[in-house]
Amino acid sequence: MPSITEFYEINRPVPFKNVQVNVDNCFFVDPHAVRLSQPAEPYASEAIECMDSFLREVTACVFAGSPASLQRAETLLQQFAEPWETRLGLATSGFAGHGGAHDVGTWIMDTLTSDAEALVRVGILRHLEYLPLFVHGVDRDITSDITTRLIFGPLARFTEDMLLQYPELSTAPHEIKTFKKQVWNAAALEWDVEEFTLPVANGKALVLVPDSWVRKTLLMSATRFFETSVLSFAQLAGAVVTDDGKLLKTPKDKLVGRPGLERGRSTNLRLTLQAFENEEDLLRQFTLFVASRLEPNQVRARAA
């Protein structure tokens, strides 16, 4: 299967993820990677505003709690059809998978109005990348789909910029076409439609993604959050001071599976709220932990 540069015969470095053009590639758009790229990447600020404004609007509707506002939140959340234009994700055949936009929106809404409602009310559920930590069924593939749909406008504008920088993308026999695509309008706080001129590969629109926004796994996953920040909090909560003044903590591998410390998003949520009651923000701590593990040449995360 040809990569983008092979398909278009581009013989120089490119700033976009050089995926295969005819199939879904097992890579994912990571919302936290997008956030970390600011201000190094063009279009990152716009993409971040799309993500943040959407989550602010949804959580504000949940916080309001009226039937109309709750319906608006759920409607906004049910627009995440799989963005096959990027060729990213886990479709079993080709790149036109069958993402369940309606179901995904309902999963997120159910969590925000039940288990995670307290997170909404105390105002610490601020970033899109926090959703996979708490919402069952939302992992790297669905997180990537959600993120891509929200930042589709910036991605399409990035692709239009690449058309100017890499004329091979539009040189015959290759072609470009104008498409109407769904975008999130961060100013109007509504889903909208815009027209974009995009490359066409094998009859299908192609949207390019900055290389630094794409990862094999999420920087912020439910498992990583549990194994670091959540278990660290549980360790300290159960620690005892010995007679000689030393802090005795149970090893993390001995804690896992104890009642109340089973692996899973329910535990993540419960201990995040418990920590908040003790004036500890596990999400902020996790953000700082992720930043501390980045390679030195990567942009460091700012505290949430």
The string of pLDDT tens digits covering residues 43-89 is 999 999 999 999 999 999 999 999 999 999 999 999 988 888 999 98
- The domain spans of the chain are 4-215, 222-292
* Contact by Cβ (8 Å): 255, 234: yes
- Residue 278 CA to residue 168 CA, distance in Å, equals 57
In which region does residue 281 sit, left (phi positive, over 0), alpha (psi from -120 to 50) or beta (all else)?
beta
Distances (CA, A) of 150 to 82, 143, 153, 155, 225: 12, 11, 8, 10, 24
Per-residue confidence (pLDDT) for residue 93, from 0 to 100: 38
In contact, 204 and 191? CB cutoff 8 Å: no
CA gap 17, 73 in Å, rounded? 33
Q: What is the CA radius of gyration of the chain?
A: 21
pLDDT at position 97: 44
Q: Helix (H, G, I), strand (E, B), or coil: what is residue 17? A: coil
- Cα gap 154→172, rounded to integer Å: 26
| Residue 184, strand partner residues | 191
pLDDT on residue 14: 97
Q: What are the average pLDDT values for consecutive 10-residue runs of the chain, which has 304 residues?
A: 94 96 89 89 93 97 96 94 87 45 87 90 92 93 95 98 97 96 97 97 94 96 97 92 83 91 95 94 96 68 41
